Structure 1
Amino acid sequence: MIKGVMFDFSGTLFRIESAAQWLRAVATKVGLDVPEGELDTCVSRLEQFGAQPGGVPPRTVPPHLEALWRERDLTAERHRAAFTALTREAKLPAADLAEALYERSQLSGAWLPYPDAEETLRALRGRGIPVAVVSNIGWDMRPVFRDHGVDDLVDVYVLSFERGVKKPDPRIFQMACDQLGVDPGDALMVGDEPVADVGAATLGCRVHLVDPLPVDQRPRALAEVLQLL
């Protein structure tokens, strides 16, 4: 019987805006006029290097950044350093947009909840099932939940940069279960990453994976979780 549910953040409950929207918003803010064709080229380079937090994973990580990339979620400093360095590798048409883009990725307006996120969290609350958000991340995304009106539906946040341990290490899932007051065998982990999130199975947790599609392409994947309880 499931007595507690853990959710991943990015790609599971929320999804960041497209890389094109991300770049366009920052270019507009700093007064940089980027022609549409050039913007598309810049977006392709950003996606190649996986420079957008919460966006597509990198297809290319330069050798000198590999160690930093592996450790990016362990501290706020490494997270910022990794993503701003990858942005600079993309050679954008301005002296340095890396910091501005990184700051944009932490704004609540850059994140959209999946259509069924609130109803699923609210249904769990109605059933008396506590919820934890367990995320590999380098910044505090609690304000995203508050600004989208769902923070009161989350009981516990277990964030890698605050704990110094990241998924798939079973210790981070154990921390979440301990704070929820449930045995791992009575917990469900819902995520989108088949390596990181499946780490919960090591403890005996059930695991359910969803596809990290854009929000308009995935309307009901979270609501299906309720059928597993």
Structure 2
Amino acid sequence: MSELRSGRPTGVLFDIDETLVDLRTAMGNTLREISARDLAHFTEEDWAAYQRLYTADPQGYYDRYLAGELSFTRQRLLRVAHAQQAHGLPAFDGDAEEAWNAAYDDVLPWHFKPFDDVVPVLDQLDALGIPYGAVSNNVHDYQRAKLDAAGLERIQILVGIDAVGAAKPDPAIFLEGVRLLGTDPARTLYVGDNPVVDGRGALAAGLQALWVERSGCAELRAAHPDLPVSGSLAAVPAMVGQSSPAPG
């Protein structure tokens, strides 16, 4: 890991999805639960491919939602339509779309879970007296409900894209999180799973950054050699002064 740019952080901001909350697993489990009857013919390989296609969003529908081109519900329906089409399944009609989306909304929160390393790290930050919060590329109320469903009510500071009318990597959304923490940008650590939106976005806003790359993909890490990277959140306490396993 490269040296800290401006001294040890005095505050920490986290991304939520795939950093604190295992959203991919939650989405995959939800898809399987609500579609098990209609897709009873699927093999395990079919399910894995279907879930992966939906969660990966290769068409970039979520980015179009962030750009204001699609509603949140429409980007979700387009993602499942793409997965359906790829598996030779008919598209949903209007009534079926409404029913599928309602079922998805009802079931998804039951599957929100934090990664195993989240609670121990938050416990250490609490013990150190380090303030923390979250900055997310979704609206505040939706992410507030997600954190609460995942048992992360302790994260009280939360900035969504509706707070400042901007999404990461726009500096404004990072700086709003810093303002709420009451820290200096140069002494605030931002932790996220996306090397561009989270890592480089935080650095461009004047924060410190830690890229959490849980897969251990050497090729992906090699594409961003200048970003501080860790395979888990365990590096965070070390960066603010608590001994912890070395990142890697």
Give SS of 1:90's match.
Answer: helix
TM-score (ref. length: structure 1): 0.77
Counterpart CA distance in 2 for 1:114 and 1:27 is 25
Cα gap change, 1:212 to 1:104, in 2 (>3 Å): farther
List aligned pairs for 1:188-203, cutoff 5 A.
Answer: 188-198=189-199, 199-203=201-205
Q: Decide which structure has the larger Cα Rg and report it.
A: 2
CA distance in 2, matches of 1:163, 1:195: 20
Structure 1 residue 79: deviation in Å?
2.0
- Answer yes or no: is the 8 Å Cα contact 2:169–2:198 preserved in 1: yes
CA distance in 1, matches of 2:107, 2:205: 32
Aligned partner of 1:90 in structure 2 is 83
2: CA distance between counterparts of 1:20 and 1:69? 16
Name the Cα RMSD after superposition.
Answer: 2.9
Distance 1:57 1:105 in 2: 20
Supply the AA of the counterpart residue of 1:226. Answer: P
Q: State the Cα distance separating 1:36 from its structure 2 match.
A: 3.2
Aligned counterpart for 2:33 among listed residues 15, 25, 48: 25
Distance 1:148 1:22, change over 3 A: closer
1:3 aligns with 2:5: no
1:224 is matched with 235
Task: Give the 3 Å change call, closer, same or farther, for CA 212–56 of structure 1 in structure 2.
Answer: farther
Residue 209 of structure 2 aligns to a residue whose secondary structure is strand
Q: Residue in 2 aligned with 1:56?
A: 56
Against the structure 1 CA distance between its residues 23 and 176, is the aligned structure 2 distance closer, same or farther, given a 3 Å change threshold?
same
Per-residue deviation, 1:40:
3.9
Preserved CA contact (<8 Å) 1:7 1:190: yes
| Matched positions, count | 207
SS of the residue corresponding to residue 113 of structure 2 reads strand
Contact 2:30 2:104 in 1 (8 A): no
Aligned-pair CA distance for 1:83: 1.7
Aligned residue for 1:9, secondary structure, equals: coil
Q: Deviations over 1:10-31 (max 9, x none)?
A: 1111112266523221124xx5
Q: Distance in 2 between matches of 1:150 and 1:19?
A: 18
Does residue 1:81 correspond to 2:89, yes or no? no
Q: Quote how far apart the aligned CAs of 1:93 are.
A: 5.9
TM-score by length of 2: 0.72
* TM-aligned CA distance change 1:210 to 1:167, over 3 Å: same
Query: Does the CA-based 8 Å contact 2:121-2:234 persist in structure 1?
Result: yes
Q: 1:32-81: per-residue Cα shift (whole Å, max 9, x none)? A: 351232x7436524533xx3xxx3241xx2xxxx6x64331367x72221
Out of 44, 49, 69, the residue aligned to residue 44 of structure 1 is 49
Q: CA deviation at 1:137?
A: 2.0
One-letter identity of the residue aligned with 1:143: A
* C-alpha contact (below 8 Å) 1:170/1:200 kept by paired residues: yes
1:83–1:33 CA distance, 2 compared to 1 (3 A): closer
Q: What is the identity percentage for the equivalent residue pairs of Structure 1 and Structure 2?
A: 26
Residue identity matched to 1:206: Q
SS in 1 for 2:213: coil
- 1:155-194, aligned counterparts within 5 Å? 155-194=156-195
Partner SS, residue 44 of structure 1: helix
> CA separation of 1:123/1:211 partners in 2, compared to 1, >3 Å: closer, same or farther?
same
Which residue matches 1:13? 20
1:151 Cα deviation from its structure 2 partner: 1.1
Q: Distance in 1 between matches of 2:193 and 2:50?
A: 24
